Structure 1
Amino acid sequence: MLPPIDEAILKNNPDFERLYKTVTGSLLNADGSTKSNDPAAKKRDAVRDELRAHRLKATKQHLLRRAIVAAATPEASTGSAVQSKQQQQQSQLRRTRSVPQNQQPRDSVSALPPEILDLLLLLPPFLSNASSMPNSSLALILSRPPFSELNTLFPILTATLSATLSRQTKALARVLNPHTNPSYIHRSIPTLASTTADLQASISNSSNSLSRSRQRATHDLTTHLSQHARALAQLVRVLESKHGPAARSAELRAADAGLESQIWALAAEALLWDARRTVYPPEAQRALANYRRHLGDARMRLADAVRVRETELGDYGMSIIEGESGDETKERTMREIARVWREMETRLNEIKADLDRLG
């Protein structure tokens, strides 16, 4: 069967869609085989039918062997195992509400003669290996019991196999028809093959529909995501169209305010220079420059006078530099002379004042 292809792929690729339709419609069958009018195709169909018939025959033989093994198994086990298995089967029959006639084949199986049991045990391996055995071995096996008594035991063997097959088919029918009355379960046995085929076809169709549904869901999800992306793009464009001019207007206003502030700063600086020019005319500026030079000269003369006085004080034994010590004896003498001089000046001033008052 050809795998399904997503419809979106076919829609997006028209050339591939035409090629796919040509291949699936004209060149290939639904199962993927090649369509051909060649006479060899009829031979292939005949071989296919022969293989199908051989497969059906092999399946029947396999079911027959399984039925023989199932019929021989209960008696080949120990007595306790047979009893426990019979109890389980009886409980299962009670749960499935089977009719009492279903117990008769089991009783007949448990009451089989030893020859039938030996035949049931030996028949499956014999049927499996008969095609690979030589004719002498086959003749020897068929000439010894229980195969030599096959004609006598055949009715009992067929009845046992029929009971086993009937029991298994009824169990399968109960599984496929759980709501059918056990009394009428045998009526659904002929439809087991068609029911099984219908179930297999239903499972295959369900699997294919599930695969197609998954592909459709994937395609729908992809479409939804693409639509969502387009919606987001439209929303972004709407927001840009709505708020973009306002943002640009605010940016332009801010730039205008910045330029205006720069203009005002330059104007203030120009006004400052104009005010300075008004307050300080050229004559005042020249006078201030001369006064500054005069102050510089006075500072230099003052510094020279300070150095001269410091030198004189040094000659008198006094030091005004921090960390240096002069002549203490000379310093005390000069201080005492200065004190006496001040006292003499004070007395002279007093005498002059008295003379002026008396005179």
Structure 2
Amino acid sequence: MLPPVDPSILHNNPQFEQIYTHLTTNLLNPDGSTKVKPSQKAQEHALRENLRAAQEQAAQSQLLRKSLGQLSPRAAEGLPDELLEVVDLVAAGLNGRLAPEEREMLADDVEYFLGHLRPIGNALSTHLLNSATQLAGIVYPEESNPRTLQTLTPTLPTHISTLRQTLLAQQDTLATNHLSLATTSCTVLSTHRTLLETIIRILEQTKHGSVARGARSHAEHLSIVAESMEAKLKILEREALRQIYTPEVQSALGNYGEHLRDTRRRLREREGRAEEEVERYEECGGDMKVLVARYGGLLREVEGVRGDIRRLGGEA
């Protein structure tokens, strides 16, 4: 897979962007392999097949060497103990765990080993079949029958190759998503930084800048205007009162107040005399109808006086 490149790097380096685009479009495949011309495909295919064959042979040789040293007791059940010891010594020599001089001492053991290849091969085949069955159980976890797993062992190479290709594709997708996420994170962080810078600048302008000074000056101006308007209103109020309550008006109001007080006094005197007269009538005898009529007239007169007093603002 080609290494991912941050889009901002490509944007800030146009020449590098051209080279990278040329490489990814014209020269290299997404998996990093070279895009060859048609004339080179046959040669490359032959080389690839030879390489695959060499890799398979090396893998088989390594698998046989390791399997010889890891024969399970179940697989080597039919081998005699002497042959098992020889197998362990030969496996140690094949895996490079013996010194050269020790290998020369094993010439007889090697001949004994070669003379018993058939039983050793059967035990090794059983061991490899058990290993393949265990591997099939891992690849196909939904299957639990050993016989079914043994029938699935021939499909292991194809299935594992498919899983490997799927894994590689998912790794490529994951790397692409990581790059996209990193790009988005950089954009978000850049936007957040711009936002913080804007907020700080606005706060500075609001608290210490021209906006704050202008608002403070405007507020002070309005305060002074309000104070001057209040003083003017007080002056206008005094002037209006002085124009309304002239000396003549004040004298007339004083005379009218004196007249009201004199009228209230006379009305209260009339009320007192009427009440005294009512009391005298109540004490005297005589014709009741005449007294009642007189009494009613006096009451009406008293009520009339009280009404006059109330209209004048006094108390009845």
Compute the TM-score of the two structures, normalised by the length of structure 2.
0.52
How many angstroms apart in 2 are the aligned matches of 1:256 and 1:30? 72
Partner of 1:210: 174
Deviation string 1:250-287 (CA, Å, 9 cap, x unpaired) is 325648999xxxxxxxxxxxxxxxxxxxxxxxxxxxxx
Q: 1:7 to 1:118 in 2, by over 3 A?
A: same
Q: Is the 8 A contact 2:24 2:30 kept in 1?
A: yes
Are 1:20 and 2:20 counterparts?
A: yes
Instruction: Give the deviation of 1:167 after TM superposition.
Output: 0.6
Q: 1:146 to 1:229 in 2, by over 3 A?
A: closer
How many angstroms apart in 1 are the aligned matches of 2:210 and 2:15? 45
Are 1:227 and 2:191 counterparts?
A: yes
Q: Is the 8 A contact 1:118 1:146 kept in 2?
A: no
Partner of 1:67: 67
Counterparts in 2 of 1:234-273, with a 5 A limit? Answer: 247-251=213-217, 254=220
* Amino acid aligned to 1:53: A
Deviation string 1:112-160 (CA, Å, 9 cap, x unpaired) is 234642552344246557xxx9xxx79x65994343xx2xx33322221
Instruction: Give the deviation of 1:61 after TM superposition.
Output: 1.1
How many angstroms apart in 2 are the aligned matches of 1:196 and 1:27? 30
Q: Which one of the candidate residues 136, 143, 154 is aligned to 1:173?
A: 136
Moved more, 53-62 or 18-27: 18-27
Q: Is the 8 A contact 2:67 2:128 kept in 1?
A: yes
* Amino acid aligned to 1:32: G
Gaps of 5+ in 1: 75-105, 259-359
How many angstroms apart in 1 are the aligned matches of 2:17 and 2:162? 32
Q: Is the 8 A contact 2:69 2:87 kept in 1?
A: yes
Partner of 1:109: 76
Moved more, 167-176 or 34-43: 34-43
Counterparts in 2 of 1:273-352, with a 5 A limit? Answer: none
How many angstroms apart in 1 are the aligned matches of 2:200 and 2:85? 87
The two structures, once aligned, show a CA RMSD in angstroms of 4.6
How many angstroms apart in 2 are the aligned matches of 1:217 and 1:7? 12
* Amino acid aligned to 1:170: T
Gaps of 5+ in 2: 225-316
Instruction: Give the deviation of 1:161 after TM superposition.
Output: 1.2
How many angstroms apart in 1 are the aligned matches of 2:109 and 2:215? 111
Q: 1:244 to 1:53 in 2, by over 3 A?
A: same
Q: Secondary structure at the match of 1:2?
A: coil
Deviation string 1:16-75 (CA, Å, 9 cap, x unpaired) is 44432211121234443544549788656644543332221111011112222222x64x
* Percent of aligned pairs with the same amino acid: 26
How many angstroms apart in 1 are the aligned matches of 2:110 and 2:76? 26
Deviation string 1:173-221 (CA, Å, 9 cap, x unpaired) is 1122222132411232122223333343444334333333232222222
Q: Is the 8 A contact 2:6 2:179 kept in 1?
A: yes
* Amino acid aligned to 1:156: P
Q: 1:250 to 1:44 in 2, by over 3 A?
A: same
Higher relative contact order (CA 8 A, sep 6+): 1
Instruction: Give the deviation of 1:163 after TM superposition.
Output: 0.7
Q: 1:127 to 1:254 in 2, by over 3 A?
A: closer
Q: Is the 8 A contact 2:65 2:91 kept in 1?
A: yes
How many angstroms apart in 2 are the aligned matches of 1:44 and 1:59? 22
Aligned pair count?
218
Partner of 2:2: 2
How many angstroms apart in 2 are the aligned matches of 1:220 and 1:30? 23
Partner of 1:190: 154
Counterparts in 2 of 1:51-130, with a 5 A limit? Answer: 51-71=51-71, 74=73, 106=74, 109-114=76-81, 116-125=83-92, 127=94
Moved more, 8-17 or 192-201: 8-17
How many angstroms apart in 1 are the aligned matches of 2:194 and 2:82? 84
Instruction: Give the deviation of 1:164 after TM superposition.
Output: 0.3
